[in-house]
Structures are given as C-alpha cells and as structure tokens.
Structure 1
Amino acid sequence: MTADQRLLLVHAHPDDESIGQGATMAKYAAEGRGVTLVTCTGGEMGEILVPELAHLAADQEDRLGEHRRGELAAAMQELGVTDHRYLGGFGTYRDSGMKWHEDGHAVAADDIHDNAFWHADLTEAADHLVAVIREVRPQVMVTYDQFGGYGHPDHIQAHRVATYAAALAAVPSYRKDLGEAWDIAKIYWGAMSETRMRAGLRALRDAGDTTSFEGMDPDGPLPYFVTPDEDLSAVVDATDHVEQKLAAMRAHATQIAIDGPFFALSNNLGNVAWGLEFFRLAKGKPGELNEDGLETDLFAGL
C-alpha cells in the first residue's frame, strides 16, 4: 500500500460494505487513496434471494459462503478496490446467523455454529486485524457502532474486534511479531441520516410504493440503524460514483434483489439517495466543517 492516505474498512459480511460505504470506497479508490476492506465472515447464513441457488443454503449444501466470496470479488472490481482480505483468511470465522427480536432489532440465533464469529475469542480475532493495521498503516478506519447498526451479532462483534485491534495495534510493546506499532488517527462509525431516510421514504410513498422498506413510516419511528442528524460528524459526497455502488450491490445477487427497496429508493431520488454517505466520528479530531457542521472528507485535518 503506497498511497499517502489510506482507509481501512471492517465489515461483517459480503455486501455490507457496498450498501454502507460503496460510493465512498469507489471515490477514494478513483482518487488514488488506499482502500483496504476486511470482511470478517463469508456470509454463510445469509438468506438466498435467487431461487436457482437455494441449494447453496446452510441447511442444504452449505456452499453459500464460497459463492458470496465470488460476489464480493465482483463487487470490489466494480468499486475499483484491489486490497480485500478476510479476517484471519477465508473460512476462519463463519457467519453467526441471526433472528429478529420482538422489538424489531436483530439478535443472535438460537443455534450457532462452533466457529461462528459471535463466539470468536476477542483477542485472537483482534490480533488478525492488528497484523493488517500494522501492515497497511491506515490513517482512517470505518466500522459499525456498538450496536452494529441493527443488532446483528456479527456487526456487533466486528465493532468490538475493530475497536480492540485499533487499541492494541498502537501499543509498541504489544505483539511485536505482528509488525511495528501504528495508531489510527481517526475512527468512524457508518451512519444513516434521519433526515435523508425520511425524505427517501416520503418519496417512495408519494410515488405509490408501499412495499419497499415495508412498515417504515416517513413520519413515524425509524429503525435502530438510522442516526439523528445532530449525531452525524461527516458526509462524503460521492454522487459521481453512485453507479459503481449500485453495480457493486447488484454483484451481491444472492442478498440484494435488483427490484428491491435499495434500487427503488435510488430510482425515486436519483444519485443523492446513495451518493451521500454519512459517518459518526468515534476517535480523533474533526477537520474543516461545511455549513451543516459536517466534515466532507474522512481525512480532513490530517
């Protein structure tokens, strides 16, 4: 990694990165900044939306993870990202699965595989990431908040591993065999703007779409992953790279329906729907702010 500015993203499953920060990844890669993605599991427990691939499911042939490995490679090609790794190597940690709590957020499934990421030893998993951090030496890292956005156990675990690894990587005396110490200057949590989400839902409902994001009211309570605007720290305008983001999302065909809510939202709002990606600053000092009080570059102030 020879770029002067380097971004590390830590995500739980293939497709999380494209939905969350696909446009930012494409923008920074196009600008010659270093972009490294670490995916913590193969997404083996995902729901399969392509009927002819149903045989890959965990309760059948259990080969979904390998298939999604190919989907992620295709998505990275669309985004122009050439540095992608699986935490500890592909197959080290398995998708833990999830179920829905009556309160509307995800929780751990009743039956979890022995090597599920949710059961991973925190220090062991963090050490895999420490090695990456010390090799890549990123100034900025992006991961989930402490609730993993909506409660998925693998998202929560990715937050824990990323946070712990960032701390350990900065300690000069810790695991010298993993490389020279490196302190990540800024850490962000991915976020969804409440104002933007309400506007998007309103546009869908005004267009007569009552099924996309079913159950969400533009004027009512919103899901856990939506962030009040006053808690946002940064917005990256990557509207010029929305088509790359959507192409990357389409590459994750087993997980994202091409006629589903993500694409319906894009059709109704245009590039602004997915071209503006929001973040919360979890570590570091903010750089220059725009008129809305937000940074417009994750590397601002460095």
Structure 2
Amino acid sequence: MTGSAAGRRLLLVHAHPDDETIMTGGTIARYLAEGVDVRVLTFTLGEEGEVIGDEWAQLVADGGADQLGGFRILELSRALAELSPDGQPPLRPEFLGGAGRWRDSGMAGAPSANHPRALVRAAFDEPVGALVGVLTEFAPQVVVSYDASGTYGHPDHKLVHEVTAAAVARARELGSGPVKVYESVTERSALESGLARVVTVPDNWRMPQDGELPSYPDADITTEIDISGYLARKVAALAAHATQVTVAASGTEYALSNNILQPIASAEHFILTEPERHESLGATDTRESDLFAGID
C-alpha cells in the first residue's frame, strides 16, 4: 500500500449486482490497485433482473425457479474478482443487512414491488439504520451513491439515494460520517463521443435514440476518474454479469436485455454533492481527478 493510499476508505453503495460494474467498475479497480480499502455494498440480489439468453432463463422470478438472486451473487463475486489486483485476495461482495435481507423491487409499477421483502416496502428506518451501522464501523472518507432520479428511474436506485442521504446525515450526527459524498453519473459528451466511435452495431442491437440514455451536461460534472488503465478489467467484469449484460466483440460497447448499445468509456464521472465545493477542500474551477482530493 502506498503512503498516500494508507488509511483511505471508499464505500460504494449499489442497488443490484451489475450496477457496481456498469457505473463504477473502473473506479473500483483503480482504487483497489492503489491500495485503498474499498467496499461494495449491494442492497438486493437483483432477483427481478431480465435474463439474457436461454441457459439461465428458468432461474427468473416470474414463472421460473426464482433462483436468479443466488446466481447473481456468483456473478457479482466473479465481477469483483475481475476488478481486483492480480495476486491479492479478490474483493468480496457485501449486502446491506446480509444477503437476501431485502429483495429487488423490480421496475416502477411491477407486481414485484408488492413482495413482502421488496426493498421499496421496507420501513425506511430499517435500511437507514443498517447503513448507519456500516458507516460507523467502516468509517469511509468517501461514499458513492446515485442521483435523486436513480440514474434511470428504477425505484430501488431512487431509494438507495434516499437511504444513503439519510444514513450519512445520521452518521455525521454520531461523529462518524464521510467527508465527501458523490453521485455516479454519465457525462453527456462522453456518451456522445462514445456513440460516435461505434463502428459496428452487433446483430439484434440498436443505437439509442436521442436522449434515451440518461446523462448530465458536462458543466454539472465535478469529478472525472481516468480508468483507461483498467478498461480491460471493467470489460471482464461486465462479461461476468452474463445474465444481465452482453459485451460486444469489440470490447468497447455493451448492452442490457433491451439490446440498446451503450459505450464503455475510458473515464467515469461523478458529481460531488457533499460538501459543496469550498476552499477547505482545495476547490477550484477545474474538475477533480481523485475522489479523495482535499482529504489527505
């Protein structure tokens, strides 16, 4: 571990297996390689995911074996291993409240939201209290979550955002909250340039329509993490989530079950929400290139 990384602790909270890799896989790989103590905390097992292909199609919840969540623990374990440095024990998955405590709620309006263990049905203080416990025990300086819209409107993503905000506030009252909180987002120009570089659209895939993929104006982005040295790890981790993600032969694009092409960028983008930029963290008008900027 380098001197600058010693004592650094990073917590990334996600709703379902595969979110960690899609949104923050390169960041996870980079900070693990730099010797940072990284933890990935997932709220559900992703039981309501739409399975790609036939091999595992009967694991689904709706009319199937309802075993997808357990299989996705395996996929998450494989993905985190791909993101971990060679020669070191792989990062292991962690689940809020333990694996299976809360269940994937499904998309807005889905009947799965009525399941008694659905995350959206949890008494709000229960996941908040569980996350406060993680924050006080682990004491990360940096926490990464979602934006208020839950990236693309998924009820679980939105709730993760709300739970994280409440837990951070409560942990700070207890004297153990993080210094910085980020929202993981997509930069508009990175999305557009990635789409412009597409040479071949795989069979049965399609390009996204204008505005179909969520993104933020460049001016809103506060932090850009260069993951160019870890792209191969991110691509391998995406491929590990094979029930949910298909990686193009080029290794530069992927698609979910909707077969809408999405580029794999060489940087991951964030918006610093707490604290707002100020001189005590060495803030400038330029983007941060390190989630721990101003802390050391």
Q: Same fold (TM over 0.5)?
A: yes
Cα deviation for residue 128 of structure 1 reads 0.7
- Name the counterpart of 1:149: 151
Alpha-carbon distance in 1 for matches of 2:82, 2:187: 25
- The yes-or-no answer on 1:301 pairing with 2:290 is no
- Aligned pair in 2 of structure 1 residues 200, 184: CA closer, same or farther (>3 Å)? same
Are 2:233 and 1:240 aligned? no
Which of the numbers 21, 36, 58 marks the counterpart of 2:61? 58
1:68-79 mapped onto 2 (5 Å cutoff): 68-79=72-83
Residues 212 and 138 of structure 1, relative CA distance in 2, 3 Å threshold: farther
**Counterpart position of 1:21:** 24
Question: Which residue of the partner structure matches residue 36 of structure 1?
Answer: 39
In the TM superposition, residue 208 of structure 1 has moved relative to its aligned partner by 4.8
2:1 matches 1:7: no
Contact 1:212 1:261 in 2 (8 A): no
* Residue aligned with 1:131, SS: helix
Tell me whether 1:94 sits opposite 2:79 in the alignment.
no
Distance (whole Å) between structure 1 residues aligned to residue 249 and residue 146 of structure 2: 24
Task: Quote the offset at 1:38 in angstroms.
Answer: 0.6
Query: CA-atom RMSD, angstroms?
Result: 2.4
Q: Is the 8 A contact 1:186 1:285 kept in 2?
A: no
Compute the displacement of 1:120 (Å).
1.4
- Pick from 160, 163, 186: which aligns with 1:161? 163
Aligned mates of 2:186, 2:205 — CA distance in 1: 14
- Seq. identity, %: 38
* Structure 1 segments unaligned to the other structure (5+ residues): 99-106, 173-180, 267-271
Contact 1:24–1:236 (CA under 8 A) maintained in structure 2: yes
Are 1:249 and 2:238 an aligned pair? Answer: yes
Q: Does 1:231 align with 2:220?
A: yes
Task: After TM superposition, give the deviation of residue 264 of structure 1 in Å.
Answer: 3.0
Counterparts in 2 of 1:174-213, with a 5 A limit? 181-204=175-198, 207-209=199-201
1:279 aligns with: 270
| Secondary structure at the counterpart of residue 197 of structure 1 | helix
Residues 145 and 156 in structure 1, CA contact (< 8 A), matched pair in contact too: yes
- For residue 285 of structure 1, report the CA deviation from its aligned partner: 4.8
Paired position in structure 2 for 1:177: none
How far apart in 2 are the matches of 1:75 and 1:35? 14
Q: Distance in 2 between matches of 1:260 and 1:151?
A: 29
Distance 1:163 1:237 in 2: 26
The answer for the alignment partner of 2:260 in structure 1 is none
Q: Does 1:131 align with 2:133?
A: yes
1:213 positional shift: 7.1
2:110 corresponds to: 109
CA distance in 2, matches of 1:244, 1:12: 21
Change (3 A) 1:251 1:166: same
Q: TM-score, normalised by structure 1?
A: 0.84
> Shift in Å at residue 258 of structure 1?
2.9
For 1:131 and 1:165, how far apart are their aligned partners in 2?
Answer: 9
What is the distance in 1 between the residues matched to 2:282 and 2:234? 26
Query: In the alignment, what sits opposite 1:104?
Result: none
Structure 1 counterpart of 2:259:
none
Q: Deviations over 1:6-62 (max 9, x none)?
A: 110000000000010100100000100111111000000001113111110102100
